[in-house]
Amino acid sequence: MTNYKPGIDYAKAQDQKDPLAHYREKFYIPKNTNGDEWLYFTGNSLGLQPKETKNHIQQELDDWANLGVEGHFEAKNPWMPYHEFLTKTMAEIVGAKPIEVVIMNTLTTNLHLLMVSFYQPTKTKYKIVIESDAFPSDRYAVETQLQFHGFDPSESLVEWTPRNGETLLNIEDLESILETQGDEIAMLLIGGVNYYTGQYLDLKRIAELGHQQGCKVGIDLAHGVGNIQPNLHESGVDFAAWCTYKYMNSGPGSLGGIFVHERYANDTSLKRFAGWWSQNKATRFDMRQPLDITPGAEGWQLSNPPILSMAAIKASLELFNEVGMPALREKSIKLTGYMEYLILELQNENISIITPKDPEQRGCQLSIQVKNANKSLHTKLTAAYVITDWRTPDVIRCAPTPFYNSFEDVYKMVEILKTILNA
Ordered per-residue pLDDT tens for the chain, 423 residues: 579 999 999 999 999 999 999 999 999 999 999 999 999 999 999 999 999 999 999 999 999 999 999 999 999 999 999 999 999 999 999 999 999 999 999 999 999 999 999 999 999 999 999 999 999 989 999 999 999 999 999 999 999 999 999 999 999 999 999 999 999 999 999 999 999 999 999 999 999 999 999 999 999 999 999 999 999 999 999 999 999 999 999 999 999 999 999 999 999 999 999 999 999 999 999 989 899 999 999 999 999 999 999 999 999 999 999 999 999 999 999 999 999 999 999 999 999 999 999 999 999 999 999 999 999 999 999 999 999 999 999 999 999 999 999 999 999 999 999 999 998
Domain with CATH 3.90.1150.10 in the chain: 8-48+324-422
| C-alpha span between 159 and 152 (Å, rounded) | 14
| C-alpha span between 110 and 116 (Å, rounded) | 10
Which CATH fold would you assign to the domain 58-321? Answer: Aspartate Aminotransferase; domain 2 (3.40.640)
Domain with CATH 3.40.640.10 in the chain: 58-321
| C-alpha span between 72 and 51 (Å, rounded) | 26
The number of residues in the chain equals 423
Q: 393: cis peptide before it, omega within 30°?
A: yes
What are the Cα distances from residue 350, in Å, to 148, 347, 357, 369, 390? 45, 9, 19, 8, 16
101 DSSP 8-state letter = E
What are the Cα distances from residue 10, in Å, to 13, 14, 214, 321, 344? 5, 6, 52, 30, 17
CATH classification of 8-48+324-422, choosing from 3.90.1010.10, 3.40.640.10, 3.90.1150.10, 3.20.20.140? 3.90.1150.10
The whole-model pTM stands at 0.96
